[in-house]
A and B are shown apart, each in its own frame.
Chain A
Amino acid sequence: MNFDFSDELKQLRDEARRFLTDRCPPAVPRAILEGPEPFDRALWQAMAEMGWTGAAIPETYGGVGLGRLAVCVLAQELGRAVAPVPFASSVYLATEAIMLFGSEAQKQSYLPRLATGEIIGTFAMAERPGTSDPRKLTAGVSGGALSGVKLAVPDGDVADFAIVVVNGGSGAWMHLVDLTGAGVVRETVTTIDPTRSHAKITFAGAAADPLPGSTGPETVRKLMDYAAVPMAFEQVGGAEAALDMANAYAKERYAFGRPIGSFQGIKHKLADMYIQVQMALSNAYYGAWAVHTDAAELPIAASVARISACEAGWFVTKENIQTHGGMGFTWQMDCHLYYRRAKLLGLALGGSREWKLRLVSELRARNTLVAA
């Protein structure tokens, strides 16, 4: 049994944690929350220089070639730091889409620049409230021109290009679109978590370059599965940080002459938070194993990782506020940074309700419970 990251990846995790502790304390996401900048460009550049943006990109395309497990390790630390950078959009989604479904020319053109952080990519899918079933989309491409409106595109106002999902019929379901080109109107929108900017994007005849491998709606699901795993690590990282925060506060804050952590009402809540974090981390490991080995059960593993991370992220960040009492509800305390981010990440890629239905459907399709 070797259900753990390698020493090399653990070293990467330790380095990332040291770097982010120093370079991205809570004051950094707070500065984005309170200021005019959409993200921390200097932090993004520093991460790119360390090779994080190219971690999973093969060396032949200018990346570091550490594989997807390295992205998982980094994602957990970025989640812990509530980092205000477009890492998830550019790395888990745009880079992954090109690696999975791009042509050789697209890979050669985009991956080296994604690796250096020179360009930022994102993923544009949602068109209306409700299901994220790609077959329900109305955006379409005709004669190489894309038309449609995409809501809540993460980093949509700062990305250079987007992977846009369309109702592709017998053609490509994902297209590369230059967001700085003609026929693209971007409008920054207010969200529950302004530490990560979002945009509404209207495409009116924008030039669309199809990803040739994206031959059906199931390829969109496949991309979501690949993205859900590092996303789960990022969610678990945020939950860990919120637990650490609550745990520290419960030792320092006294009421009725004793630390509040000595009351079982708080103590058991902290234990429940710890349980949630550990369950989600174990399930995220399962996802990591599946992406690493390209396992046939990836749709199951990704769903399990996703559902577990959504539950842990929500539970732990809301109970962190509760543990802090009235102080937890103030702007000045950092509790809300974790709370906002947890729900934001819990909605990106679709909420856990959808993933639960998908999980059961995958389990039934295989007619087995994979050694439950």
Chain B
Amino acid sequence: MDFEDSPEEAAFRAKARAFLDANAERRKPGEVEGYRRGQDAPGAMERAKDFQRRKYEAGFVGIHWPKEWGGQGGSQIEYVIYNQEEAKYDVLTGLFGIGIGLSMPTICTWGTAEQREQFVKKTMRGELVWCQLFSEPGGGSDLAALRTRAEKQGDEWVINGQKIWNSGAHYSDFGILVARSNPDLPKHEGLSFFILDMKTPGVEIRPIKQVSGSSHFNEVFFTNVRIPDSRRVGPVGAGWKVALTTLMNERHGMRDAPGPDVAELFRLAEAVELEDGPAIDNTAVQEKLAEFYVRTQGLKFTKFRGMTALSRGQTPGPESSIIKVVAANKLQDILSYGLDMIGMAGPTMGDEMPVAGIFEEALLYSPALRLAGGTDEIMKNIIAERVLGQPQDPRVDKGVPWRDVPTGPRAGKA
């Protein structure tokens, strides 16, 4: 039992570090990776694209993809090692997450040779940015209930409807879109999957102001938007299966919640003065610090168990499914507790606050982490049903044509 890299892994890590040292700035000690912090800074996107191109040329994009996709044919553990190293550097890679992490695996699995030829390499090089057009006001956790219509007219599909929570739609070149091609079939059977050029006439993007005040998400409206049939991915009516490939890639990966962690909470406890002296000397505070530390370590070592499986060429066990839900909740709890320690001065945001105001900033974006990529409730359903083998809830929409499924007063049918 040890935490050491195998000789091959150590060699790969050294190679990754050498590339990163030559092409990026290492984060300063104690510097926290903010959630998409800095993406809106002037010139950030150009720098991100430039780094992505160099990363591609050095062979660190698509590390674990098969060679026939244009990947490196490497192992999952190499992919994890590269990401561990990259996280230590000040680079913005979130821009390419949907393209490389979700869209390309879906297109490579289901798409035509022509589609792969057209999109994969350019996306890997950072020339194309993608967004995901899945969720709708009436189709979030119950994605297959979505209403956006796709009607075939000749060689084209005509799209009408609305999507929501579309990260980066306002700067994306393309989107992956699921729409309803047949409303008379049960909900999972009447969907089709498309690649949408975001510059197509009839596409209207409206930013959504978030709790944090910034606008990372959008609503996207479609009015008679025409997509050529050559941009359909997978067979007509197979949209749900294709979308599942995307979702599996989204929920795969041992995703942590970026933001202040227990180390920052310790720093805060050292900086803050309570009734009886420094917070760090208060036993009630110490108990909370210990609880957060234990949760942090539990996550870390759960990831190490998954990495051990990858290192042996195996699939990580079901324990990896707990990471997202634990991490996102822990983050919110740490933020709330940290601000509680700051007390009446807590609401202020900015650099003059202890630990540079990151608790305040993260408080406002943290709710998203319990929602995006599967809500806590959906993640717990998955754990109970797929890991523990519990039965699904009875479904009133099973086998019912989509147009007859009740939708409630908050949504009208498309």
Contact = CB atoms under 8 A, between A and B. Distances in A.
A280 B298 contact: yes
Interface string B261-299: 111001000000000000010010011011101111111
Interface string B383-410: 1110111111110000000000000000
A360 B304 contact: no
B287 A357 contact: yes
B391 A307 contact: no
B390 A267 contact: yes
Given A3-B304, A285-B301, A369-B266, A262 B390 contact: yes
B384 A267 contact: yes
Interface stretch (B20-28, B164-172, B227-235, B305-313): B305-313
Given A262-B391, A282-B301, A304 B4 contact: no
Given A274-B387, A275-B325, A3 B307 contact: yes
Contacts of B287: 353, 356-357
Contacts of B299: 279, 282
A372 B302 CA distance: 13
Contacts of A282: 297-302, 304-305, 319
A279 B290 contact: no
Contacts, number: 171
**Which of B6, B290, B293, B381 has most A Cβ within 10 Å?**
B290
Interface in A332-347: none
A1 B5 contact: yes
Given A282-B319, A372-B263, A261 B384 contact: yes
B1 interface: yes
Interface residues of B, number: 54
A247 B311 CA distance: 31
B375 to A, nearest CB: 11
Nearest to B287: A356
B4 A1 contact: yes
A259 B391 contact: yes
Contacts of B388: 247, 261, 270-271, 274
Given A262-B394, A271-B388, A274-B383, A1 B266 contact: no
Interface residues of A, number: 53
B301 A283 contact: yes
A8 to B, nearest CB: 12
Contacts of B387: 274
Contacts of A275: 322, 325-326, 383
Contact of A283 (B283, B297, B319, B326): B297
Nearest to A353: B287
Contacts of B266: 363, 369
B46 interface: no
Interface string A355-372: 111011101100001011
A173 interface: no
B2 interface: yes
Main secondary structure of the interface of A (DSSP, over half): helix
Contacts of A311: 294
Given A278-B322, A282-B298, A360-B290, A271 B380 contact: yes
A11 B88 CA distance: 39
Contact of A307 (B9, B280, B291, B383): B291
Contacts of B286: 356-357, 360-361
B3 A283 contact: no
Nearest to A361: B286
B335 to A, nearest CB: 16
A31 B300 CA distance: 41
**Which of B280, B295, B304, B388 has most A Cβ within 10 Å?**
B388
Given A1-B307, A3-B304, A267-B381, A372 B325 contact: no
A271 B386 CA distance: 11
B322 A274 contact: yes
Contacts of A258: 391, 394
Interface of A: 1-6, 69, 247, 250-251, 258-259, 261-264, 266-268, 270-272, 274-275, 278-283, 285-286, 288-289, 292-293, 303-304, 307-308, 311, 353, 355-357, 359-361, 363-364, 369, 371-372
30 contacts: A1-B310, A1-B311, A3-B2, A251-B391, A261-B390, A262-B392, A262-B393, A264-B380, A268-B381, A270-B383, A270-B384, A271-B383, A271-B388, A274-B384, A274-B388, A278-B298, A279-B295, A280-B298, A281-B319, A282-B297, A282-B299, A293-B2, A307-B294, A308-B297, A356-B290, A361-B286, A363-B293, A369-B263, A372-B262, A372-B300
A-B pairs, top 5 by smallest CB distance, nearest first, are A356-B290, A279-B298, A282-B301, A271-B380, A261-B390
Interface of B: 1-6, 9, 77, 261-263, 266, 280, 283, 286-287, 289-291, 293-302, 304-305, 307-308, 310-311, 319, 322, 325-326, 377, 379-381, 383-385, 387-394
